[in-house]
Structure 1
Amino acid sequence: MTKFVFAFLLIFLMAFVSELAYGGGEGSLKPGECPKACEYRCSKARIPTTCLHFCNMCCDKCLCVPSGTYGHKEECPCYNNWKSKQGKSKCP
């Protein structure tokens, strides 16, 4: 029984931590939360100022930033599907 409770708490904690890393799905952020979420998202970007510009623009529109510093765009369909004129992803 103790192992079950420990496993449940561990899963709950992992979900909570991933939420803090700004995953959470479409519309899960308020506009004021975008800069901090994008700061984390772009923290390992090669060109952070460009990443921050586009991330904040995308977050303002979608109110979502995928978790982590790269990938996971399926968490935010709006963020994932917004394309440039050249057909490339507009959002980092």
Structure 2
Amino acid sequence: MAFKAVLFLLATFLLITTRVSSSDEDPRMKAPTPPYAKVPVPAPAQAKVPAKPPTPSPPTKATPPPAKPPTYAPLPPVKSTADCVPLCDQRCKLHSRKRLCMRACMTCCYRCKCVPPGTYGNQEMCGKCYTGMTTHGNRVKCP
């Protein structure tokens, strides 16, 4: 019997504390407003739109960065086919098929008036004429 009384008191205590704590949150517990009073209608809640990150503005017209000096020696001028021989000889000295390389190099030098420095690469230094020349098989012609 005492157990039932303690259990009843505990249940009553929990019920009262639950009512008291939820009365602040429950809108039904508010005092009734008279029917003639104007009650403002709350605006529907709008979802918050995340702010867009600031987009970088295009750079203003400022002075361009200073041009870096070339890291290679300027190309020697090619005025005749006689000037092509030492340049192509230097270009093809390490090639496995030197005669084939010399023939292609001389053709490119004669047409484009330029031979890139070094034994390989640097073709862009002679421009589109040198880099755009191809063989019948659509391979790069100039060494």
Q: TM-score, normalized by length of structure 1?
A: 0.70
2:112 maps to a residue whose letter is C
Uncovered stretches (5+) of structure 2, i.e. residues with no partner:
1-68
Q: Is 2:133 aligned against 1:82?
A: yes
Uncovered stretches (5+) of structure 1, i.e. residues with no partner:
1-10
Q: Is 2:92 aligned against 1:42?
A: yes
Q: Could you tell me how far apart the structure 2 residues matched to 1:53 and 1:85 are?
A: 16
User: Structure 1 or 2: larger helix share?
Assistant: 1
Q: Could you tell me how far apart the structure 2 residues matched to 1:66 and 1:57 are?
A: 14
Deviation at 1:84, TM superposition (A): 1.1
Deviation at 1:82, TM superposition (A): 0.4
Between the two proteins, the alignment pairs up a number of residues equal to: 73
1:38 maps to a residue whose letter is C
Bigger relative contact order, structure 1 or 2, given CA contacts below 8 A and separation 6+? Answer: 1
Q: Could you tell me how far apart the structure 2 residues matched to 1:89 and 1:67 are?
A: 17
Q: Is 2:100 aligned against 1:72?
A: no
User: What is the identity percentage for the equivalent residue pairs of Structure 1 and Structure 2?
Assistant: 33
Render the CA deviation track for 1:22-67: whole Å, top value 9, x for unaligned: x35xxx3112210110000001001101000110011000010011
Please show how residues 5-84 of structure 1 align to structure 2 within 5 Å.
15=72, 18-19=73-74, 23=75, 28-31=77-80, 32-77=82-127, 78-84=129-135
| Poorly superposed stretches of 4+, deviation over 4 Å | none
Q: TM-score, normalized by length of structure 2?
A: 0.46
Larger-Rg structure: 2
